[in-house]
Structure 1
Amino acid sequence: MDVTLTDEQWQTFEEQGYLKLGKVLTELELAALSQQIDYIMLGKAGCDYDRLMMQREAGEGHEQSSQTLGFKGSTLNYRKIENLEFDSMFLTYLQKPLFREICDKVYGKDTRISCFRAMFMNKPARHGSVLAYHQDRWTDLDRDPLVTVWTALDPATIENGCVKIFPKTQHQLINPADPSGFITSDQVSQLVENGEPVHLELEPGEAVLLHNWTVHGSEGNSSEQSRRAFSVCYMDANTVSAMGKQFTVVMD
Structure 2
Amino acid sequence: MGDTLSFEQWRTYEEQGYLRLGKVLTEDEVTALTSRIDEIMLGKAEIDYDKLMMQREEGEGYEQSAQTLGFKGATLNYRKIQNLELDPVYLAYMKKPVFRSIAEKIYGIHTRVACYRAMFMNKPAFHGTRLVYHQDRWSNLDRDPLLTIWTALDPATRENGCVQVYEGTHRNLMNPSDPSGFLTKEQIEDLTVNREPDYLELQPGEAVLLHNWTIHGSEGNRSSKSRRAFSVCYMDADTISRPAEQFSAIFD
Q: Which residue of 2 aligns with 1:240?
A: 240
Closer, same or farther in 2 for the Cα pair 1:75/1:23, shift >3 Å? same
Q: AA paired with 1:16? A: Q
Instruction: Spell out structure 1 runs of 4+ moving beyond 6 A.
Output: none
How do 1:5-154 and structure 2 match up within 5 A?
Answer: 5-154=5-154
Q: AA paired with 1:99? A: F
Please give the per-residue CA displacement for 1:59-112, whole angstroms capped at 9, x wherever unaligned: 111111011111110000000000000000000000000000000000001421
Separation (CA, whole Å) in 2 of partners of 1:66 and 1:246: 24
What's the secondary structure of 1:170's corresponding residue?
A: helix
Greater shift, 60-69 or 182-191, is seen at: 182-191
Please give the per-residue CA displacement for 1:201-238, whole angstroms capped at 9, x wherever unaligned: 00000000000000000000000110000000000111
Separation (CA, whole Å) in 1 of partners of 2:30 and 2:44: 18
Q: AA paired with 1:73? A: G
Separation (CA, whole Å) in 2 of partners of 1:165 and 1:185: 17
- What's the CA shift for 1:175? 1.1
Equivalences, count: 252
Q: Which residue of 2 aligns with 1:158?
A: 158
Separation (CA, whole Å) in 1 of partners of 2:206 and 2:140: 32
Separation (CA, whole Å) in 2 of partners of 1:85 and 1:184: 33
- What's the CA shift for 1:242? 2.2
Q: AA paired with 2:102? A: I
Q: AA paired with 1:230? A: F
Q: Which residue of 1 aligns with 2:201?
A: 201
Contact 2:20 2:207 in 1 (8 A): yes
Q: Which residue of 2 aligns with 1:183?
A: 183
Q: Please list every run of 5 or more consecutive structure 1 residues that lacks an aligned counterpart in the other structure.
A: none
Please give the root-mean-square deviation of Cα atoms over the aligned residues, in Å: 1.0
Please give the per-residue CA displacement for 1:121-152, whole angstroms capped at 9, x wherever unaligned: 00000111000000000122121100100000
Q: AA paired with 1:220? A: G
What's the secondary structure of 1:118's corresponding residue?
A: strand
- What's the CA shift for 1:243? 1.6
- What's the CA shift for 1:193? 4.3
- What's the CA shift for 1:189? 2.1
Separation (CA, whole Å) in 2 of partners of 1:7 and 1:209: 15
Separation (CA, whole Å) in 2 of partners of 1:199 and 1:7: 24
Q: AA paired with 1:229? A: A
Separation (CA, whole Å) in 2 of partners of 1:219 and 1:140: 27
Greater shift, 90-99 or 179-188, is seen at: 179-188
Separation (CA, whole Å) in 1 of partners of 2:193 and 2:167: 13
What's the secondary structure of 1:192's corresponding residue?
A: helix
Contact 2:4 2:102 in 1 (8 A): no
Greater shift, 236-245 or 95-104, is seen at: 236-245
Greater shift, 172-181 or 68-77, is seen at: 172-181
Separation (CA, whole Å) in 2 of partners of 1:2 and 1:170: 26
Greater shift, 191-200 or 86-95, is seen at: 191-200
- What's the CA shift for 1:4? 2.1
Separation (CA, whole Å) in 1 of partners of 2:35 and 2:140: 35
What's the secondary structure of 2:170's corresponding residue?
A: coil
- Structure 2 length-normalised TM: 0.97
- Structure 1 length-normalised TM: 0.97
What's the secondary structure of 1:13's corresponding residue?
A: helix
Q: Please list every run of 5 or more consecutive structure 2 residues that lacks an aligned counterpart in the other structure.
A: none
Contact 2:169 2:213 in 1 (8 A): yes
Separation (CA, whole Å) in 2 of partners of 1:103 and 1:128: 30
Separation (CA, whole Å) in 1 of partners of 2:153 and 2:211: 21
